[in-house]
């Protein structure tokens, strides 16, 4: 299927989402985390087809803006939504999600009603994390204690924390225990996402079975997780065509259609995006794959081994999360990519 799409690719790049693979992956995650509430973090990829594929497998969706709230509510009226994010507007706070993740005492004061989790910002050891969620996110324990003391119109149901991303199952289970230890008996606990996705070794998958077992062992009555990247990254491909191959000051470059205005992931995470070449072959050389933008930061992969010629198609894998939706689409006003949805991709 992907080879057929590559053969038909014109000068406009294309995203391809394998919905059958996503459905199967989501089913495996659901089975491994039985007994744990599973919410998908919409920020990872809000594409309606992606959300419709995930919906039967999740208990709800985590949204981080009024726009995401309205988008998901229109697709799934009545579905449980958790509304997070550090900068909620007055309009945001008039919405009625299943749970608000409260980021400050002032935010709690502004709520006229609803059920909330207090977002806790803990100073913890996160060795090996790709991203530590410190800084302005949530409240330190003293602020949480202040929220618990003051009168509020909203009902405090428990706590929420997302402390780090890019961790394996053992490390993430340890963080979950740390978070749960800050809850009161009988309260809900949401430990966010952060499951590792290995772009350098796509076959190195997060151990969902071990994570589910570890979470169940914490003994929390209502425990919730919010995976994003680890749910959808693997179902997406970004197809581009080689426009030119040239050597500049001894370094070989392949210029491709599209760029980081469509697929910003490798720049933001500082990795080489894994890819497959559909082309004419030839000897492999060390080459840097770049896009069409007028910036030296428009790079997909640096000094990797590949055989690339003008007209070849490069299919970048793992483009199903934090890819098109996080990219700066309008820079240089290049054409928007096409989108294809397939059921199975041999």
Residue 316 CA to residue 9 CA, distance in Å, equals: 14
Q: Which of 147, 190, 235, 294 is catalytic?
A: 294
CATH number at residue 301: 2.40.37.10
- How far CA 113 is from CA of 90, 129, 339, in Å, comes to 13, 36, 40
Question: For residue 250, what are the domain limits?
Answer: 2-15+234-342
Neighbours of 140 (CB within 10 A): 12
Q: Residues 297, 326, 75, CA angle at the centre, nearest 5°?
A: 165
CATH number at residue 80: 3.20.20.10
Question: Mean pLDDT per 10-residue run, the chain (346 residues)?
Answer: 88 96 98 98 98 98 97 98 94 96 95 95 68 73 93 94 90 94 95 95 97 97 97 98 97 97 92 94 94 94 97 97 93 93 75
Residue 289 CA to residue 300 CA, distance in Å, equals: 5
Is 190 a known active-site residue? no
Same domain, 223 and 316: no
Same domain, 206 and 275: no
Last residue of a domain, one of 232, 260, 282: 232
Last residue of a domain, one of 201, 232, 263: 232
Same domain, 195 and 246: no
Residue 232 CA to residue 322 CA, distance in Å, equals: 9
Same domain, 69 and 210: yes
Beta strands 164-165 and 131-132, pairing class: antiparallel
Q: Give rounded-to-5 percent helix, strand, coil for the chain.
A: 30, 25, 45
What's the domain count of the chain?
Answer: 2
């Amino acid at each position: 299927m992907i080879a057929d799409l590559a053969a038909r690719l014109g000068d406009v790049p294309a995203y391809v989402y394998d919905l059958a693979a996503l459905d199967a992956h989501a089913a495996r995650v659901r089975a491994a985390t039985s007994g744990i509430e599973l919410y998908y973090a919409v920020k990872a990829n809000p594409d309606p087809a992606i959300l419709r594929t995930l919906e039967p497998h999740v208990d709800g969706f985590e949204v981080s803006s009024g726009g995401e709230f309205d988008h998901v509510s229109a697709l799934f009226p009545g579905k449980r939504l958790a509304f997070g994010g550090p900068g909620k507007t007055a309009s945001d706070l008039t919405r009625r999600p299943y749970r608000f993740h409260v980021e400050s005492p002032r935010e709690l004061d502004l709520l006229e009603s609803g059920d909330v989790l207090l977002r806790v910002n803990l100073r913890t050891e996160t060795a090996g994390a790709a991203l530590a969620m410190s800084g302005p996110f949530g409240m330190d324990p003293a602020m949480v204690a202040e929220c618990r003391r003051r009168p509020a119109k909203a009902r405090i149901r428990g706590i929420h924390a997302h402390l780090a991303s890019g961790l394996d199952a053992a490390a993430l289970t340890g963080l979950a225990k740390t978070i749960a230890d800050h809850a009161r008996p009988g309260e809900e606990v949401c430990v966010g996402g952060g499951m590792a996705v290995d772009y350098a070794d796509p076959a190195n998958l997060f151990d969902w079975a071990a994570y589910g077992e570890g979470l169940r062992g914490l003994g929390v009555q209502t425990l919730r997780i919010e995976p994003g990247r680890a749910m959808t990254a693997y179902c997406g491909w970004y197809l581009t065509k080689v426009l030119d191959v040239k050597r500049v000051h001894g370094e070989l470059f392949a210029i491709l259609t599209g760029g980081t205005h469509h697929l910003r992931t490798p720049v933001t995470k500082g990795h080489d995006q894994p890819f497959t070449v559909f082309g004419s072959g030839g000897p492999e050389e060390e080459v840097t794959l770049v896009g069409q933008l007028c910036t030296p930061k428009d790079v997909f992969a640096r000094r990797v081994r590949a055989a690339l010629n003008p007209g070849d198609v490069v299919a970048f894998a793992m483009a199903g999360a934090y890819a098109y939706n996080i990219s700066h689409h309008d820079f240089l006003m290049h054409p928007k990519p096409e989108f294809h949805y397939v059921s199975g991709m041999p």
